[in-house]
Amino acid sequence: MTSITSNYTESRCSKDNAALLLIDHQSGTMQLNHDPTPVEFRQAVIALAKVGKIFNLPTILTSNYETGPNGPILQDLLDLHPNAPVIRRPGQISAWDNEEFVAAVKATGRKNLIMAGVTCQVCLAFPAMQAAAEGFNVYGAIDASGSPDAAAREMTVARLVAHGVTPVNWVMVASELQRDWRLPTGPAMTQLFHEYNPNYSMLMDNYQAHTKQAATK
């Protein structure tokens, strides 16, 4: 087994070394989660998908048993990433148990995998731990991976960390990829933060109000 680097400089995510994996965000299974709230959860999923689009990350979508109660993949994700491989698994609970999914991940040539799954304790946890065991640097987006309650989230994060997976949220991913607001992606990122990060939105609104007021004096 390849050891996972603990050196941040070596494993730091960039637009050139990371891939985004969105696992089982389906209309039925999205309803299973209450931590974070359903609205916050959906917002985090869409925000993370938009981060992938802004930085042109290789992105892979996968679903499980769409013809059953799990339902289809969120249309927003398909619209944001129309050219992404969509792996529709016939039943494997862990996406990493599906050969087509693993082949698509390896075909990206990326060592850093940013993962989110519709349920933190299953859809994210299993493939994340399996990928880490194969030597990938895996970053589990916890806010874009829902849980039924806080207890499930906490025990999942503890298990992920024990198996070498780094817990993150979409803001951390976005900021790590951006690195410098002066880069060309800065305006799109500012808009994304304003739209999906309430605290940042209030900060920007306050700044714009003061700027406008100063300009009228």
Residue type, 69: P
Q: How many CA atoms lie within 13 A of 141 on its CB side?
A: 33
Element (H, E) at 72: none
Check residue 164 and report its DSSP letter.
T
Q: Is 86 helix (H, G, I), strand (E, B) or coil?
A: strand
Can you say whether residue 86 is alpha, beta or left, with left for phi > 0 and alpha for psi between -120 and 50 degrees?
beta
Q: State how far the alpha carbon of 105 is from the alpha carbons of 20, 45, 101, 119, 137, in Å.
A: 9, 19, 6, 20, 13
**Residues contacting residue 116 through CB under 8 Å, at least 6 positions apart:** 21, 22, 23, 25, 45, 48, 124, 140, 141, 144, 145
Alpha-carbon distance of 141 to 123, in angstroms, equals: 12
- Active site amino acids: 123
